[in-house]
Amino acid sequence: MSGAFTHHGGALAAAAAHFGGDDWLDLSTGINPVPWPGAIDADWQRLPERGALAELEAAAAAHFGVSPAYCCAVPGSEMALRLIGQWVGAGAYRWPAYRTHAAAFPDGAAADGSGERRALLLANPNNPDGGVTPIAQLRRWHEDLAARDGWLIVDEAFADATPEVSVAGRVGDWSRLIVLRSFGKFFGLAGLRLGFVLGPEPVLTMLRALLGDWPLGAGALTAGAAAYRDAGWIAGARRDLAARAGRMDALLAAHGFAALGDCPHFRLIADAPGLFDRLARHRILTRPFDYNPRWLRLGIPEAQADWARLQKALSDG
């Protein structure tokens, strides 16, 4: 299996080149298959105004339940994680995790708790297994780290669908807590490259100094502010994702696969050797893992035709 498919999701060009065909169904990411439908009416000719950035951060902060004073917009949370890792220094990350977590702390180590490092980075809900860490456990790790002038860093890229698991609203109350949020996954517009760092003033000052005067383009500023204020669409998307995830559980169970995880953006199958190649023969791209060849993560289909196509591929043993 090519490493192009085990490093990140979304390698459709590589899949077409490797397996052939061009009619691919991409289930390799956890991006919402039903994107926010609002129009992006941006002024592409002018440099972005600072007021537009402040407006976006205020709208996002209200959605996260945190003061705008603790909210910094960034061109994708993946970039922000790497910058924070350089700024914090020595840190550990919980494994399994995003590839970027290991890249943020290349001299760190996988950990199951706060340990002795200066920082602990984890995703909640986790990727790729969809596990959720209770807030009480996060508090205990935070208290241990803060007592040693350390940092708890929580990547909440998939928390919009299940806001009850988030600690974003505790930024400011919990000293030495940093939370990252992603726009593209829940709103289905990953190509905008928009994310947020929630944290105390020294963290945001560092990021803003590195990102410069125009950290975001006009499209991200305009779409982000409007989308975060679209309460009706947000509520509907949460219901829709939950329903789709339940349908995926039932479909997988009907073909003998036990789906794992509590994140409605995707499901992990923990015992699926050979399934990646079988689905690829039907031009369905999923997410395999080089460190555990029996794992396979599947995103959630959108249209009825996509569901039927997945069902047919799963039946073709």
What is the C-alpha to C-alpha distance for residues 15 and 210, in angstroms, rounded to an integer? 36
Which residues are within 8 A (CB) of 299 and not within 5 positions of it... i.e. 6 or more apart?
9, 26, 27, 28, 29, 30, 31, 33, 265, 266, 286, 287
Write down the CATH number for the domain with range 50-229: 3.40.640.10
What are the start-end ranges of the E strands in 257-311?
Answer: 259-260, 266-269, 284-285, 287-288, 296-299
Q: What's the CA gap between 99 and 109, in Å, rounded?
A: 13
Q: Which CATH architecture has domain 3-35+232-315?
A: Alpha-Beta Complex (3.90)
Residue range(s) occupied by CATH 3.90.1150.10 in the chain: 3-35+232-315
CA angle 42–180–243, rounded 5-degree value: 80
CA distance 85 to 121: 9
Q: What is the full per-residue pLDDT of the chain (317 aa) written as tens digits?
A: 556 675 667 788 888 888 898 899 999 999 999 999 998 888 999 999 999 999 999 999 999 999 999 999 999 999 999 999 999 988 999 989 888 898 999 877 776 666 677 899 999 999 999 999 999 999 999 999 999 999 999 999 999 999 999 999 999 999 999 999 999 999 999 999 999 999 999 999 999 999 999 999 999 999 999 999 999 999 999 999 999 999 999 999 999 999 999 999 999 999 888 999 999 999 999 999 988 999 999 999 999 999 999 999 999 86
List, edge to edge, every strand of the sheet that includes 259-260: 259-260, 266-269, 296-299, 287-288
- Listed in order, the ranges of the chain carrying CATH 3.40.640.10 are 50-229
Q: Any residues with CB less than 8 A from the CB of 220 and at least 6 apart, and which?
A: 56, 73, 75, 183, 192, 193, 194
